[in-house]
């Protein structure tokens, strides 16, 4: 085994060990578990930093170094170190367990049916945009970024123009980010703000539908792009057929969402990310069993370490940022931010919401990942002191996250999509989706202020 393989093995074993320790800790409280968790976290961070490359490496390393410098300067207790380094551990567990749901999705024959419905609308461009963005809105809610790659493969034969793909993918994916319990953003924000998913879900879904509607409206007005789509689809033959799988898929998706809402009330877990991770694990197995693909499910589990390694950068990044955020919240910066936002809130609630969203987007657009800004705000700001409820503060942070995904050239989504459609992420975010993002800032701000006034 080479050195890279050795560190990859440590990384995977550390993650699997942490999953076991965290869920065991939900049942029993023991000091030994805390010690084991600390050791595994150190092994994970050490191996992960060695394996990390590119932007996640630099951000993770910077967050850890600055966080530790502040930790020692302000002579913080070791309990704060453990709290910080493990704060985002549930999110890391979520990232590596949710992809299990893609196994029955691939093996169940659902994608061929989706292909059929997409190609039925090739000559009706406005309806096609609505069908595609709606599909991505639902499909990506459980497959995250993986859904973008799968959907792009489904559409390969149509040879759609890159501008159309950039708009339709961003409309559907950006809108699903605001409400899906299977996407890390919602879980992270609710985890930080202490808002339950049950009380947030309807408001988050409505905000997602507003973004979805806005994206469709903008395409409705884009006659040039519509003409490009019509020309690209002239020579496509529909090979798939309706085999009834679409209803089966709809039932499965409704079941997934219902389990989160019901499970939050019935299971006494420390946070919702662990609940969603648990549901993903068991639901994927039961779903595979019901469609007679359980043997295939087990075979893919044997190779699942490869999936875990695909998310190692994100896991290390979120652990590092969580530590940085906790430490920052223990410094005088907390009062400085509180005073700045308090001054802004004196002008108007709408201006305050817009200020938070715009600052987050601007920082993200120059390479400062939105999770750093959002984590710092969530840990250091008391919403009541700036005139927002916990719910509307959560919606504000989620709106900021969504617009970052729409516009920022540095977010993983735009980098991935740019690679798939062979365009750079600056063109995708700041050129083709700039209007969508700017109007989204205003629309979401107005919606949040309305909810805050109720």
Residues 6+ apart with CB under 8 A from 262: none
Q: How many domains does the chain have?
A: 1
Q: Which of 35-39, 90-94, 301-305, 432-436 has the lowest mean pLDDT?
A: 90-94
Mean pLDDT computed over 256-265: 83
Tokens representing residue 149 in the block: 């790659």
**Is position 15 within any domain?**
yes
Tens of pLDDT, residues 10-53: 999 999 999 999 999 988 888 899 999 999 999 999 999 998 87
Distance, in Å, from the CA atom of 124 to the CA atom of 229, rounded to the nearest integer, reads 9
Identify the pLDDT of residue 406. 94
Identify the pLDDT of residue 337. 75
**Is position 243 within any domain?**
no
Nearest Cα to Cα of residue 212 among 110, 272, 267, 133: 133
- Average pLDDT score, the chain: 85
Tens of pLDDT, residues 335-351: 777 778 777 777 888 99
CB count within 10 Å of CB 212 equals 21
- CA angle centred on 106, ends 105 and 111, rounded to 5°: 85
Mean pLDDT computed over 237-257: 72
Identify the pLDDT of residue 136. 87
Residues 6+ apart with CB under 8 A from 58: none
Residue holding tokens 């499909």? 139
Residue holding tokens 């995904």? 405
Task: Please give the residue that has the higher pLDDT: either 402 or 418.
Answer: 402
Identify the pLDDT of residue 153. 66
Tens of pLDDT, residues 148-199: 766 776 676 667 889 999 999 999 999 999 998 877 788 889 988 889 888 9
Share of the chain above pLDDT 90, in %: 31
Distance, in Å, from the CA atom of 317 to the CA atom of 296, rounded to the nearest integer, reads 32
Residue 67: exposure state from Cβ atoms within 10 A (0-12, 13-18, ≥19)? buried
CB count within 10 Å of CB 3 equals 8
**Is position 130 within any domain?**
no
**Is position 72 within any domain?**
yes
Mean pLDDT computed over 100-122: 75
pLDDT band at 403 (very low <50, low <70, confident <90, very high): very high
pLDDT band at 1 (very low <50, low <70, confident <90, very high): low
The boundaries of the domain holding residue 77 are 3-87
Identify the pLDDT of residue 169. 92
**Is position 46 within any domain?**
yes
Task: Please give the residue that has the higher pLDDT: either 255 or 446.
Answer: 446
Q: Where on the phi/psi map is residue 144: left (φ > 0), alpha (ψ -120 to 50), or beta? A: left
Share of the chain above pLDDT 70, in %: 92
**Is position 166 within any domain?**
no
**Is position 366 within any domain?**
no
Residues 6+ apart with CB under 8 A from 173: 136, 137, 140, 147, 148, 405, 413
Identify the pLDDT of residue 382. 85
Tens of pLDDT, residues 351-397: 999 999 999 998 888 767 788 888 888 888 888 888 899 999 999 99
Distance, in Å, from the CA atom of 110 to the CA atom of 129, rounded to the nearest integer, reads 20
pTM for the structure as a whole: 0.78
**Is position 8 within any domain?**
yes
Identify the pLDDT of residue 450. 95
For residues 375 and 324, is the Cβ–Cβ distance under 8 A? yes
């Amino acid at each position: 085994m080479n050195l890279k393989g050795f560190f990859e093995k440590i990384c995977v074993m550390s993650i699997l060990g942490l999953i076991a320790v965290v869920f065991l800790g939900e049942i029993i409280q023991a000091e030994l578990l805390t010690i084991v968790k600390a050791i595994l976290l150190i092994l994970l961070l050490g191996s992960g930093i060695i394996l990390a490359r590119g932007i996640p490496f630099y951000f993770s390393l910077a967050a850890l170094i600055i966080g530790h410098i502040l930790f020692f300067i302000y002579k913080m207790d070791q309990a704060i170190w453990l709290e910080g380094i493990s704060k985002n551990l549930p999110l890391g567990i979520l990232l590596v367990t949710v992809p299990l749901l893609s196994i029955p999705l691939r093996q169940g024959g659902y994608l061929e049916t989706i292909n059929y419905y997409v190609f039925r609308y090739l000559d009706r461009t406005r309806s096609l945009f609505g069908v595609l963005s709606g599909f991505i809105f639902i499909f990506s809610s459980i497959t995250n970024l993986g859904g973008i790659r799968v959907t792009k493969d489904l559409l390969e034969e149509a040879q759609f123009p890159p501008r159309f793909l950039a708009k339709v993918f961003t409309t559907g994916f950006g809108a699903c980010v605001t409400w899906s319990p299977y996407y890390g953003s919602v879980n992270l924000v609710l985890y930080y703000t202490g808002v339950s998913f049950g009380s947030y879900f309807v408001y988050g879904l409505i905000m997602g539908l507003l973004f979805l509607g806005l994206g469709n409206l903008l395409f409705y007005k884009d006659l040039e792009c519509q003409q490009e789509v019509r020309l690209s689809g002239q020579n496509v033959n529909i090979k798939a057929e309706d085999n009834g799988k679409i209803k089966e898929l709809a039932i499965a998706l409704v079941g997934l969402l219902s389990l989160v809402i019901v499970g939050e009330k019935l299971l006494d877990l420390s946070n919702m990310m662990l609940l969603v991770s648990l549901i993903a694990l068991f639901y994927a197995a039961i779903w595979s069993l019901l469609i007679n693909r359980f043997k295939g499910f087990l075979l893919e589990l044997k190779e699942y370490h490869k999936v875990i390694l695909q998310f190692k950068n994100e896991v290390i990044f979120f652990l590092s940022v969580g530590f940085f955020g906790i430490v920052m919240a223990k410094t005088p910066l907390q009062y400085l931010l509180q005073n700045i936002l308090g001054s802004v809130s004196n002008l108007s609630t709408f201006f305050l919401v817009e200020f938070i969203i715009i600052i987050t987007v601007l920082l993200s657009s120059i390479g400062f990942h939105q999770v750093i800004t959002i984590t710092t705000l969530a840990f250091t700001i008391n919403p009541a002191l700036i005139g927002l409820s916990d719910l509307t503060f959560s919606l504000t942070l989620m709106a900021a996250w969504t617009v970052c995904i729409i516009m920022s050239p540095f977010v993983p989504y735009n980098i991935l999509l740019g690679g798939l459609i062979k365009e750079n992420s600056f063109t995708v975010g700041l050129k083709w989706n700039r209007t969508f993002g700017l109007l989204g800032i205003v629309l979401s701000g107005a919606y949040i202020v309305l909810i805050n006034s109720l």
